[in-house]
Amino acid sequence: MHKYLLTFLLLLHLASCDFFSQQPGTTPDDKALRELIGTDQAFSYDCETKGYKKAFIDYAAPDAVLLRPGELPLVDDAVIRYISAQEDTSFTLSWEVKGGDLAASGDLGYTYGVYRVKAGRQELKGTYVSIWRRQDDGSWKFVLDSGNAGTGEAN
């Protein structure tokens, strides 16, 4: 009898610890994750069709950070100055979102994928990761963006 009581108490304890709930790595809200990934896809589309400057300024949070090769982290006003100084008429930038996830709170998440820069006949590829925060109006803005050159894919 004592053995059954201990087993029952152990199961009760595990259930009270939320042991059988959502496993790590799953999203707390699939709809919110789809919104986030959709935002990143729209960001890519806007970057390709409206230009690098406009898209990055539109999707950057006011306190965004950019990590770029050969640069110290760009923060605050330096982000807008950096983006605005870029010449964006001789290339197009687009990317394919490969995945992402959300914090349990649903207001912070990340996306990652493969980007392509086309300049004339040349095409450069690389990987990226963006960290996003939901804004007061419900939209998503990136708070950190970083990319790495090269993916090992054939051009």
pLDDT above 90 coverage of the chain, percent: 74
Question: How does DSSP classify residue 110?
Answer: E
Does the structure show a pLDDT above 80 at 130? yes
Does the structure show a pLDDT above 90 at 137? yes
Helix 30-50 × helix 52-59 angle, to 10°: 150
Could you tell me the sign of the dihedral formed by the alpha carbons of 43, 48, 54, 57, in that order?
A: positive
**140 band by pLDDT with thresholds 50, 70 and 90:** very high
**151 band by pLDDT with thresholds 50, 70 and 90:** confident
CB count, 10 Å around CB of 40? 25
Contact 113, 98 (CB under 8 A): yes
Contact 154, 74 (CB under 8 A): no
**153 band by pLDDT with thresholds 50, 70 and 90:** low
Check residues 128 and 27 and name the one with the higher pLDDT.
128
pLDDT single digits (tens) 67-124: 998 899 999 899 999 999 999 999 999 999 999 999 999 999 999 999 999 999 999 9
pTM for the complete prediction? 0.78
pLDDT of residue 113: 97
Report the alpha-carbon distance of residue 141 to residue 62 in Å, rounded.
9
Average pLDDT over residues 46-68: 96
pLDDT above 70 coverage of the chain, percent: 79
Average pLDDT over residues 18-36: 62
